[in-house]
Amino acid sequence: MPQAQIIDGKAIAESVRQEITNRAAKLLETSGKRPGLAVVLVGEDPASQVYVRNKDRAAEACGFHSVKHTLGAETSEADVLALVEQLNNDPEIHGILVQLPLPGHIDESKVLRLIRPEKDVDGFHPVNVGLLTAGERDSALVPCTPAGSLVLLKRTLGDTLSGKNAVVIGRSNIVGKPMASLLLQESCTVTIAHSRTRDLPDVVRAADIVVAAVGRPEMIKGDWIKPGATVIDVGINRIPAPELGEGKNRLVGDVAFNEAVDHAGAITPVPGGVGPMTIAMLMVNTLTAARRLLGLPDEEPLF
Ligand SMILES: Nc1nc(=O)c2c([nH]1)NC[C@@H]1CN(c3ccc(C(=O)N[C@@H](CCC(=O)O)C(=O)O)cc3)C=[N+]21
């Protein structure tokens, strides 16, 4: 096979953020309101701090109002719940994102269920999960990473997803399950594979579309990829890279990119693939949430 097309997630994310910036400017002009995003971080995980800073920065670049709440790792569950309740009732805030994972003493599901579904820009509240699963994607807030992955697929393949075999590897509530719902709604034939799946290489070999979201570095091998298939690599794994110097790391996906690039028709890189799209879709969801809370109609969906 010739080398695959490398799907430029950074460039596509930039174009999505540009569209959102324009739409937010129009909203400001017509209503005097800015979309408001609140990001809550509990604890000091360095990777989470980087992501939260990137979200804050992206929101400001889109012309949004953006606030960041950083709480100590020892913060009680009651205090986190009280902050969510305060943000639920804050008219300047249209989107609430509580960075996951939360420290072990906090019941994640309890926190996510308290977020008003209308402000749930992560799409993790049972109301949004239910809408997406029931085929009412356009009324839901859709989780950012699967939504971003679908944008990449549509920008790469056009409107030709119908009837394709899609294999999603990973069954998390954050990526695998909502990704499968989105692909099903695009009329793909969807398989969800996971750690107990038998003959995974052969399951993947049947796929026209592979979405890898397992969190194991370079687990999906090149010769598992059907010639010409489209590969979306959701994994972001930090592995030791002594070649870069003592104690250095590098980022790799769940797919062995250097092998898969000789089999796939198109593939996302890590970094620069799905990651930037996740943040762009958070901006999309925040604008959508703001418009709905202001009683305005939805705009043309971006995916
Ligand atoms: N409630 C919640 N919502 C989330 O959306 C959420 C979360 N919790 N917890 C953590 C994960 C992780 N996540 C990423 C976002 C952007 C990049 C990203 O922009 N990555 C860049 C570079 C990353 C780097 O250099 O470290 C890239 O892939 O090119 C990565 C990861 C959102 N998450």
From 239, 278, 285, mutation site for ligand 1 pocket: most ligand atoms within 8 A of C-beta? 278
pLDDT over 90 percentage in the chain? 97
Please answer whether residues 203 and 160 qualify as being in contact, where contact means their C-beta atoms are separated by less than 8 angstroms.
Answer: no
pLDDT of residue 2: 81
Q: What mean pLDDT is reported for the chain? A: 97
pLDDT digits (tens, 9 = 90+) for 1-60: 789 999 999 999 999 999 999 999 999 999 999 999 999 999 988 888 989 999 999 999
- Which structural domains are found in the chain, ordered by start? 31-121 (3.40.50.10860), 144-275 (3.40.50.720)
pLDDT of residue 286: 98
pLDDT digits (tens, 9 = 90+) for 88-129: 999 999 999 999 999 999 999 999 999 999 999 999 999 999
Please answer whether residues 288 and 120 qualify as being in contact, where contact means their C-beta atoms are separated by less than 8 angstroms.
Answer: no
How many Cα neighbours within 13 Å face the side chain of 303?
32
pLDDT of residue 232: 99
Catalytic site includes residue 177: no
pLDDT digits (tens, 9 = 90+) for 142-179: 999 999 999 999 999 999 999 999 999 999 999 999 99
pLDDT of residue 269: 98
171 annotated to a ligand binding site: yes
Q: For residue 139, how far is its CA from the centre of ligand 1 (angstroms)?
A: 25
3-state SS class at 223: helix
To the question of pTM greater than 0.80 for the whole model, the response is yes
Tell whether ipTM is more than 0.85: yes
> Which residue ranges have their beta carbon within 6 Å of ligand 1?
50-51, 54, 97-100, 122, 144, 236, 251, 270-272, 275-276, 278-279
127 sits in which H/E element = helix 126-133
Percent helix, strand, coil in the chain (nearest 5)?
A: 45, 15, 40
pLDDT digits (tens, 9 = 90+) for 260-272: 999 999 999 999 9
252 forms beta bridges with 237
From 16, 17, 68, 236, mutation site for ligand 1 pocket: most ligand atoms within 8 A of C-beta? 236
pLDDT of residue 45: 86
Q: For residue 275, how far is its CA from the centre of ligand 1 (angstroms)?
A: 6
250 sits in which H/E element = strand 249-252
